[in-house]
Structure formats: C-alpha cells, structure tokens
Structure 1
Amino acid sequence: MKILVTGATGLIGQELVQLLLANNHFVNYLTTSSKKIVSKPNYQGFFWNPQESKIDENCLQGVDTIVHLAGSSIAKRWTKSYKQELLESRVLSAHLLYSLLKKTQHQVQQVISASGTAIYPDSYTAIYDENSSEVEDSFLSNVVVSWEESIDQFKLLNLKVTKLRTGVVYSQKGGALQEIIKPIKMYVGSGFGSGKQQQSWIHLTDVANLYYFVIKNQTEGIINAVAPDVISNNTLTKLIADKLRKPLFLPNIPQFVMKLILGEMHILLFNNKNIVPKRALELDFKFQYPTIQKALDNIIK
C-alpha cells in the first residue's frame, strides 16, 4: 500500500512514517521545503505550498490513502496573525488536496485527517464520546470546526473520510508532557489553577498505531484519539514528581498569571474535558499505554 502523508516531519508524522515503513508500505510525503525532499524506493518527498496553491501532482501516483497531519503548532503565542496561520495551515492545505484530487485521475480511496478535541466544551461533569454534538464557542474550537468541514468535502468525491480528534500527545520526543516535566526536574513544578481540570491525553505510540489501524481497516467517521484514562492536572503533576523523585512545595499557579505569560494560549493549561475513546474500544483497538502510569513508566526513565 502507498500512503501520502502531510505533516510527515511533525511529532505524529515521524512516528507514523516510521511505522508504515517498518510494515513494508510505501510513503509519499509533502513538504514546503525543497531541502527536505528525499528520494528513496519506499520514501519519496514532493513539494507543495498551500499558501500559493502549489503542489506537485506526482505526489498522488500510486497512492491509496492520504493521511493529512499538516497544521501549524498551537503551542505558540496566539497573535492575530498567528491565529490566521493556525486556521489557514489546516484549511488551505485541505482545499489544495481536494482540488488536486478533483481534477486528477487517481486511485485514492480514503482521506484520514488529524482533528482536535478542542471542539468539545469545557465541563467538570460531561463525558464526551464521538456521538457528542456539543461544540464549544472558542477560537480553537472554531478552528477545529472549519478544519473538519474542509475534510468533509472529500466525501463529495466518494472517498472514505476519517477524522481523529487527538488529545494531548505524551512522548519522550517532545510535546506538552516534556514542558510539564522540565520545571518539576528543576524543583519549581506545580499544578495550574485548581488542578482539578481533567486532561484527555494519548501516548505517541498509541496515536501512530491508531492511524495505522484506521488505514488497514479503512475505518470511517470520527474517532477520539485519546487514552481511556483521563487525568487531572494535580494528579498528573504529582505522578510525574513521584516518578522523578522530586518534591512539590510550590502552590498551584493562578490562571491570571499564566494568562499574563502566555496570552490567550494559556487556556490550553486550564481546559477541562473528559473525553473517551468509545469507537476505538468498540473497534477493539489495543492501547499499549491505556493508563497514565504505564505511559509515564515508558516516557520517564
């Protein structure tokens, strides 16, 4: 099978590409940097620039499935211009792929796209699965709604469409968890706000495996790419400190302080959402790291 991957050099993209190649699949990938184009028998790069509607049409040659992971990081200060980039990096790239598929003869059968759990509203009581229709009224949620609408258009081409609403990805290789670990290692770790806010997360290995599971089984629809074990901020902070054998003696950081430091992006630390992977479990997907303890045992050595 040949898979076209966008965002192949990102955290999830690199893990997924490695998994695909290890299972003897062929990978085409799109990059905005001509310097990152590699040409190997099983791994071939192609240039694109969604901002300028440029794409190498050869990227579709022999491709059965598209995995769309491209999108600017949400972990940067949300200035007015960067907010626009967050939206356009997801929507314009999807539109460019759609336009290419619409005008080109191809054998693509399925489009699988990243999406975000930001679409679900904050709540201390609600439990969200893939059947939940509630949508939060916030900037990031609106980005996810537009993002998913741009992916749904592929259904007009009679393609199978899958959207993986991904929680916070925990990994040794970077991402949010490493940023939480750093101050704890330096004896200045603490929780945020009340610390009661729940976070839906997933180990990097599991999210890559879930994408591969969807590719192999041609699963359609919305899938919550989160572990079955939701965790509160206070509990996570304590578990990390215990694992590192570091004390926690500072009080939790108030929300207004983080707002001064991070701006609007601070809400990522205070979001409270209990999201469950109902479909993944129903489909009998096997999580390697279903609990936070197993994930931390793997990540923190």
Structure 2
Amino acid sequence: MKILIAGGSGFIGRIVTNLLREEGHDITILTRKEKEAEKNITYIQWLGKDTSPETEIKKADAVINLAGVSINAGRWTAKHQKQIYESRMIATEELLRIVAALPEKPAVFINASAIGIYPSSQQAVYTEKSVEVSDDFLGRTVNDWEQKAAKVSVHGIRPVFMRFGVVLGNEDGALPLMAMPYKWFVGGRVGSGKQWVSWVHVKDAARAILFAITNHHLNGPVNVTAPDPKQMEEFGRTIGFVLHRPHWFPAPSMIMKLALGKKSSLVLEGQQVVPEVLMREGFEFEFPTLKTALNDLLARKSGS
C-alpha cells in the first residue's frame, strides 16, 4: 500500500514507519523540514508558507494522523495547553484539505486519539461503547479532535480513532519517567495507588494501527490498550520486580501536584479501559500482560 503519515517522526510514528517499511509498504511522511528520501520513504513538506503537499502526493491508500505537540513534554501552562490543542486542530484541518484535493481518495483515515476522553474513575470500566466524555482539558481536546477528523467520512473514507492508553517504550512516553525513581532505589506508590493505568506496549500500538488499516470492519473509536490494566500500586510494584528494586518510597498527591502542576492528572488520575473492539476482531497482542511488556522494555535494557 501507499500510506501517508503526519507525525511520522514522533514516538509512535517512528515505530509505525519502521513496521510499515518492514511490511514492504511505500510511505510518504509529511514534515516541516526538508529531508532526503530513504528506502520506501518519501518526505513532503507541509504546514509551511507556500506548501502544497497535495500536488506531490500521487496516491494514498491510507492516511495516518499522529501529528500534534506531545502532552508529555513540558509543564501544562495555559500556553502549552493551547499548543497541544491547536497543533492537533491545525494539522487535522490541513489533512482534511489535502484529502479533499486528492483525485483518488484513501480508503481509511487513522486518527490518533486518547483514552483521556473517558472520565477518571476507580470503579468504571470503559469500552468503545462508553459515551461519557471527561469535562477537563484532555477530554475536551480529544473529543474535539475526533469530531474534526470524522469529517473525512463525507468523502466516503472510513475514519478510525485510535484511543491510545499509556504507551510504554524505552525512548519516550511515560515509562522512562516512571522507572527512573526505581533505578535510584526510591520508587514507590504514586498518589493513592488506586488510580488505573491502562497501558500498551509501543510495538502493539503500532501493530494496532496496521491492523486497523487492513481490517475493514473497524470504524470509529478503537481502544488501544492491553487487556491487562493495572492500578498504580501494582504497576509500580511490577516495575520494581522487573528491575529488582524496592517499592517503598511513596510520592503523595500533594508532592506530584507541586512538581507537575495540572499535568499531575496524568499520573494521579486514570481510567480502566478495555480494548473490546481489538479483541473482538481477533487482534493478538504481542505483549498482553504488564510483566511481559516491562520485561521486554526494562529487563532487556538494564541487562537483567
């Protein structure tokens, strides 16, 4: 296939790009900077003055939208929240314009999303059928993002909203920060420890995107989380177990709020999310349990 990617150089985008290249697909990555082509990868500039990517894109069987300022980078000041929100709206609006200009439309539009659309809860279990939307910054951002991306359906294109959980990887995302205290022998309970962490290995996140492209039954929201959500207390203990480190030094909610500000909600609040659609359609997780995921990411890296 010929696949167009926005955000191909990001955390998930790099893994997706490598996976698609291994599968033999031709990839076009939209980028702000001029780059030389690689094997099976073409770079086209966009979101700049006088750029017209649609004139260089000959064909796209699928579009993957992963573009947007990372929610993990920096403190959630009003300015940063505005950047997080607007970067997603602007990039998606431009992709909609590009798709509308293509004479031959792609079959599917894969749009990144997040389980932050669901309200925080220690009791609720959320599936793709859940209609509750969190009335906070993340909930409103994700909801608006999905609604904008859904506009591709007017062209007969199948929209899929990949609601990523906490994506675990070595190079980026939440795991390096979560594991760091344990490596320094000061890991322990974060907040109450009862908040849910619905996670997914970055390789499975990338594989789920390819699965959504090739599985024509998928439409609308898809929860991209492993079928093994954990409460923070157990999540931390598992990190300690894999790294052979103690789990004993608590980080109270007040300390986390002082250190992280509004972004503390990412670790102090959570949702129990089940990947009902992926399981129903037969997706097989390479890392279905937290222990298998952390053993791959942490034990292998630390040499233990």
TM range (shorter): over 0.9
Aligned equivalent of 2:60, options 42, 59, 63: 63
Distance in 2 between residues matched to 1:86 and 1:261, nearest whole Å = 20
Amino acid across the alignment from 1:5: I
Aligned equivalent of 1:178, options 152, 176, 179: 176
Displacement of 1:138 in angstroms is 0.3
The alignment covers a number of residue pairs equal to 297
Displacement of 1:155 in angstroms is 0.8
Amino acid across the alignment from 2:235: L
Displacement of 1:60 in angstroms is 2.8
Aligned to 1:86: 84
Q: Is the 8 A contact 2:197 2:235 kept in 1?
A: no
Aligned equivalent of 1:293, options 291, 294, 298: 291
Superposed CA RMSD in Å reads 1.4
Distance in 2 between residues matched to 1:153 and 1:245, nearest whole Å = 49
Q: Is the 8 A contact 2:6 2:29 kept in 1?
A: yes
Displacement of 1:41 in angstroms is 5.2
Amino acid across the alignment from 2:32: T
Aligned to 2:225: 226
Structural mapping, 1:94-173, within 5 Å: 94-173=92-171
Aligned to 2:280: 282
Seen in structure 2, the aligned counterparts of structure 1 residues 174 and 41 have a Cα distance that, compared at 3 Å, is: closer
Displacement of 1:59 in angstroms is 4.7
**Segment drifting more, 20-29 vs 234-243:** 234-243
Q: Is the 8 A contact 1:6 1:31 kept in 2?
A: yes
TM-score scaled to structure 1, two decimals? 0.95
Amino acid across the alignment from 2:63: I
Displacement of 1:200 in angstroms is 0.3
Q: Is the 8 A contact 2:223 2:273 kept in 1?
A: yes
**Is 1:33 the equivalent of 2:30?**
no
Distance in 1 between residues matched to 2:297 and 2:102, nearest whole Å = 43
Distance in 2 between residues matched to 1:86 and 1:174, nearest whole Å = 17
Distance in 2 between residues matched to 1:193 and 1:146, nearest whole Å = 29
Query: What fraction of aligned residue pairs are identical, expressed as a percent?
Result: 32
Aligned to 1:74: 71
Q: Counterpart of 1:39 in 2: which secondary structure?
A: coil
Q: Counterpart of 2:205 in 1: which secondary structure?
A: helix
Aligned to 2:302: none
4+ runs deviating over 3 angstroms:
52-55
Aligned to 2:20: 20
Distance in 1 between residues matched to 2:171 and 2:39, nearest whole Å = 27
Segments of 5+ residues of structure 2 without an aligned counterpart are 300-304
Q: Is the 8 A contact 2:47 2:94 kept in 1?
A: no
Distance in 2 between residues matched to 1:82 and 1:261, nearest whole Å = 16
Q: Counterpart of 1:194 in 2: which secondary structure?
A: coil
Seen in structure 2, the aligned counterparts of structure 1 residues 284 and 48 have a Cα distance that, compared at 3 Å, is: same
Distance in 2 between residues matched to 1:127 and 1:43, nearest whole Å = 40
Displacement of 1:54 in angstroms is 4.2
Distance in 2 between residues matched to 1:56 and 1:16, nearest whole Å = 21
Displacement of 1:156 in angstroms is 1.3
Seen in structure 2, the aligned counterparts of structure 1 residues 56 and 196 have a Cα distance that, compared at 3 Å, is: same
Distance in 1 between residues matched to 2:160 and 2:56, nearest whole Å = 20
Aligned equivalent of 1:256, options 254, 257, 262: 254
Distance in 1 between residues matched to 2:94 and 2:114, nearest whole Å = 20
Structural mapping, 1:262-277, within 5 Å: 262-277=260-275
Displacement of 1:63 in angstroms is 1.1
Q: Counterpart of 2:70 in 1: which secondary structure?
A: coil
Displacement of 1:99 in angstroms is 1.4
